[in-house]
C-alpha cells in the first residue's frame, strides 16, 4: 500500500472525480483497494451501487470492513460494469493493474486502428497495424513511439497528451 498521509482526503478526492459516472451506474468495479478508504466512501455515498473490487495483494485487505462489497480475482472479472482505477493502491503492481484495466475496458487494437484511419491519423494506424498485441496501447505507449525528431502535428499531439496524463 502506498504511503499516503491523508488517505481519507485522497479517497474523497477520487470519489468526487468520479461522482457523475457513479451517479449514473448500478455497478462499479474498482481496481485497487489499498487501505479501503475509497471503498468506504463509495458505500457511504452510493448505497445503491453493486461494488466489486479487485485487489492483487489480497492478504492486505480486511474484508470484514466491506460487507456490501464483492472481492474478485482475475478469473471472475466482469467487463460489464463501470471500471474505476484507484492508482494509489496499486503499489508495485501498476503494470498488472494497467493490463487488467485495458482488458476490462475492452478497447481493442483493431477498433483504435479503424478510428485512427477514420480521423486521418495515418501514422498511428500504421503503428497499430505493426503491433502484435491485441489490446490497444495507452497514451504513454503511443507517445513513446514518436521520436522527438518527428515534428508532425500528430506526433506533437501525442507527446502533449502524454504530458497531461503523467
Q: Are 25 and 18 in contact (CB under 8 A)?
A: no
Partners of residue 84 on adjacent β-strands: 30
Helix, coil or strand: residue 54: strand
Q: What integer pLDDT is reported at residue 134 of this predicted model? A: 58
Parallel, antiparallel, or unpaired for β 50-54 and 69-72? Answer: parallel
1: confidence class by pLDDT, cuts 50, 70, 90? very low
Helix, coil or strand: residue 20: helix
The CA distances from residue 143 to 47, 79, 130, 154, in Å, are: 40, 27, 15, 10
Mean pLDDT value of segment 103-122: 67
Distance, C-alpha 150 to centroid of its chain: 29
Whether 108 has a pLDDT exceeding 70, the answer reads: no
Q: What integer pLDDT is reported at residue 128 of this predicted model? A: 67
Percent of the chain with pLDDT over 90: 10
Q: Are 95 and 121 in contact (CB under 8 A)?
A: no
Per residue in 15-56, pLDDT (tens digit) is 999 998 898 888 888 988 888 889 999 999 999 888 988 888
The CATH architecture that domain 7-105 belongs to is 3-Layer(aba) Sandwich (3.40)
Per residue in 142-163, pLDDT (tens digit) is 777 778 888 888 888 878 888 8
Whether 6 has a pLDDT exceeding 60, the answer reads: yes
Global pTM value: 0.60
Residue that wins the pLDDT comparison between 86 and 63: 86
123: confidence class by pLDDT, cuts 50, 70, 90? low
Q: Can you give the residue ranges of every domain in the chain? A: 7-105, 109-165
Q: Are 36 and 61 in contact (CB under 8 A)?
A: yes
User: Alpha-carbon distance 100 to 105, whole Å?
Assistant: 9
Short-list 115, 136, 29, 44, CA closest to 74: 29
Handedness of CA 25, 27, 33, 38 (dihedral sign): positive
Q: What integer pLDDT is reported at residue 35 of this predicted model? A: 83
Amino acid at each position: 500500500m502506498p504511503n499516503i498521509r491523508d488517505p481519507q482526503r485522497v479517497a474523497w478526492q477520487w470519489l468526487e472525480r468520479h461522482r457523475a459516472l457513479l451517479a449514473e451506474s448500478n455497478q462499479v468495479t474498482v481496481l485497487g483497494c489499498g487501505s479501503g478508504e475509497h471503498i468506504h466512501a463509495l458505500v457511504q455515498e452510493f448505497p445503491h451501487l453493486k461494488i466489486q473490487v479487485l485487489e492483487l495483494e489480497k492478504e492486505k485487505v480486511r474484508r470484514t470492513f466491506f460487507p456490501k462489497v464483492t472481492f474478485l480475482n482475475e478469473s471472475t472479472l466482469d467487463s460489464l460494469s463501470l471500471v474505476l482505477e484507484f492508482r494509489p493502491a496499486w503499489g508495485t503492481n501498476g503494470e498488472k493493474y494497467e493490463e487488467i484495466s485495458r482488458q476490462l475496458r475492452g478497447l481493442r487494437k483493431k477498433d483504435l486502428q479503424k478510428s485512427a484511419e477514420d480521423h486521418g491519423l495515418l501514422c498511428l494506424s500504421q503503428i497499430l497495424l505493426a503491433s502484435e498485441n491485441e489490446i490497444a496501447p495507452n497514451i504513454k505507449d503511443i507517445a513513446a513511439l514518436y521520436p522527438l525528431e518527428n515534428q508532425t502535428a500528430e506526433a506533437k499531439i501525442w507527446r502533449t497528451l502524454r504530458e497531461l496524463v503523467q
